[in-house]
Amino acid sequence: MFIANSQDSRPTARLRSAFLLGVLALAACTREPGRAQAGTTATDEQEEVRQRLARAPGATWEAVRETSVTREYELVAAPARVQLLDGRMLDVWAYNGQVPGPTLRADVGDRLRVRLVNRLPQATSIHWHGLRLDNTMDGVPGVTQPPVEPGESFTYEFVLEDAGTFWFHPHIRGSEQVERGLHAALIVGDGPSAPALREEVWVLDDWRLAEDGQIDPRFVTRHDLAHDGRWGQMVTVNGVTATTLALRPGERVRLRLLNVSNGRVFRPRFGAVKAEVVAFDGRPTSRPLPVDVLELAPGNRADVELSVPETMSDQQLAVEDTFTRRRLPLATIDVRGPAETAKASISAATLPDPDWSAATGLPADELFRLNARRGGPYGVEWTLNDQVMSPAHHGHSSVQHESRYTLKDGRFTKLQFVNESARLHPMHIHGQFFRVLARNGVPVEEHHWRDTVLVGPRESVDIGLVPRDAGLWALHCHIQEHHDSGMMTLVRVE
Ligand SMILES: [Cu+2]
């Protein structure tokens, strides 16, 4: 619950409190702590249901077959000056002098070895978003590794267990480091024998610029915290505002989309080109999904298969974001040239939907209430079950490193997010894939896995998963400002 501090009698403070109360519109009610509501007295019958759900076809995956290939990369994180946005020179923080950073590529089963060199003025790390990997390589400072201090380096090394579209970014002061340009795609291929289809990577981002045209250096502001994080006035694809994708009539292409923005949600639409979602958050969907259901919260990825009609030629089509009331141009698809014989769809690579309908009758194992209150280093802090964990102070101060939540390896687990606030919260769990079971108690079937789910104002979302990798995994809101002001916790899988 969010209460104005009665001891604070300054008029400006009172005004600010009123502003925050109005904008956050926080719930006036309080609930019992999550633990009290969670089902700690599961009956034998419920346990049988859990076992059945964990064994359902498609609920888990075979262990990956390792290849003998090791892919080595070096990433130097450093300030840089690069030509971006509408062509201007922009002062950024970049991996290897590029924004987005270099796309890393490897095949499933390969070993990835990445040496991170920190030439930034502050500590950093790399989190491999969406990957199932060795917990010690997950990149959460103060939890899975010490922060990589300026001048230091750290080598990440792990086997790639899943083919798909992933990405990486710092997991410390993300509100500043990701916003300044530290992010890039990691594409894990199906292997050399997989059918080849032309593919493009589109990194979706937005930028808040100050009056001098440079990145606004005011991070984690009251305004950001009272809203859905930092939303910029400029929207870019791969760092620029005028991306053009040239396609031929009849051509088919796989577009790998990722949303790296601090807070903005994207809902891209592709005009008259046929567009289907064939993978989400790095996992193939169970069937091609119509693009009109596609919404990308911060952290989400989607592979969209575009098919140009053979009869279309000499046309320019606008790709637009439709999440906000004002449609924003993202890119242009330029269809020209001789027609191409349509390639076979690769959307045949699908994963079965596990039948988890019986999960409806199970109680949630853990419940996470999402809310805010006054206090903390930024004046407002975002909470999970009334607790905060600030990544800004990982490894530096009295952060609690213990998990409050324990999930059992191999057990069907149901988690519930209850958003008691009026803001958006894209909730992300490290090292796990999950499925949405219900929204506001109403069962839903999405036909795909996720690692990040957008929880709307006052909404509750039930998710199901079968944890498989032991370790201490972060669970947090992927709006960087909410995250940095405390909206994170740890779950231990054992
Ligand atoms: Cu949030």
Q: Is residue 426 part of a domain?
A: yes
Please check whether residue 156 is in contact with residue 128, taking contact to mean a CB–CB distance below 8 angstroms.
Answer: yes
Q: Are residues 76 and 98 in the same domain?
A: yes
Q: For 145-200, what is each residue's pLDDT tens digit? A: 999 999 999 999 999 999 999 999 999 999 999 999 999 999 999 887 777 789 99
Q: For 256-269, what is each residue's pLDDT tens digit? A: 999 999 999 999 99
Q: Are residues 110 and 30 in the same domain?
A: no
Give the span between the Cα atoms of 299 and 291, in whole angstroms: 18
Give the span between the Cα atoms of 29 and 290, in whole angstroms: 39
Q: What is the C-alpha R_g of the chain?
A: 22
Among candidate residues 363, 466, 451, the one with its CA nearest the CA of residue 412: 466
Q: Which residues, 6+ apart, have CB-to-CB distance to 75 below 8 Å? A: 95, 96, 101, 102, 114, 115, 116, 117, 126
Q: Is residue 303 part of a domain?
A: yes
CA of 491 to the centre of ligand 1 (A): 18
**Domains: count for the chain:** 3
CATH number of the domain residue 424 falls in: 2.60.40.420
Q: Is residue 242 part of a domain?
A: yes
Q: Are residues 137 and 205 in the same domain?
A: no
CA of 480 to the centre of ligand 1 (A): 8
Q: Are residues 141 and 263 in the same domain?
A: no
Could you identify the residue written with the tokens 């610029």? 209
Q: Return the H-helix or E-strand segment holding 14.
A: helix 11-24
Q: For 356-390, what is each residue's pLDDT tens digit? A: 999 999 999 999 999 999 999 999 999 999 999 97
CA of 461 to the centre of ligand 1 (A): 14
The whole-number pLDDT of residue 349 equals 65
Q: Are residues 363 and 488 in the same domain?
A: yes
Q: Are residues 295 and 326 in the same domain?
A: yes
CA of 454 to the centre of ligand 1 (A): 9
Residue type, 292: D
Q: Are residues 230 and 265 in the same domain?
A: yes
Last residue of a domain, one of 168, 189, 210: 189
Q: Are residues 484 and 381 in the same domain?
A: yes
State the burial class of residue 9 (Cβ atoms within 10 Å of its Cβ: 0-12, 13-18, 19+): exposed
Q: Report the first-to-last Cα separation within the chain, whole angstroms.
A: 33
Q: Are residues 359 and 477 in the same domain?
A: yes
Q: Are residues 24 and 122 in the same domain?
A: no
In this prediction, the residues of the chain whose per-residue pLDDT falls under 70 are 1-42, 342-349, 391-402
CA of 410 to the centre of ligand 1 (A): 29
Among candidate residues 441, 402, 449, 427, the one with its CA nearest the CA of residue 286: 449
Please check whether residue 92 is in contact with residue 98, taking contact to mean a CB–CB distance below 8 angstroms.
Answer: no
Last residue of a domain, one of 171, 189, 207: 189
CA of 49 to the centre of ligand 1 (A): 32
Q: Are residues 51 and 85 in the same domain?
A: no
Q: Is residue 15 part of a domain?
A: yes
Give the span between the Cα atoms of 174 and 128, in whole angstroms: 13
Q: Are residues 208 and 293 in the same domain?
A: yes
CA of 458 to the centre of ligand 1 (A): 12
Tokens of 188: 């894990």
Range of the domain at 22: 11-60+355-493
Q: Is residue 448 part of a domain?
A: yes
Please check whether residue 64 is in contact with residue 71, taking contact to mean a CB–CB distance below 8 angstroms.
Answer: no
Q: Is residue 110 part of a domain?
A: yes
Among candidate residues 379, 377, 382, 378, the one with its CA nearest the CA of residue 489: 382
Among candidate residues 283, 68, 316, 35, the one with its CA nearest the CA of residue 163: 283
Query: Does the predicted TM-score (pTM) go above 0.85?
Result: yes
Q: Is residue 342 part of a domain?
A: no
445 vs 284, 308, 436, 463, CA distance in Å? 15, 29, 7, 11
Last residue of a domain, one of 189, 224, 251: 189
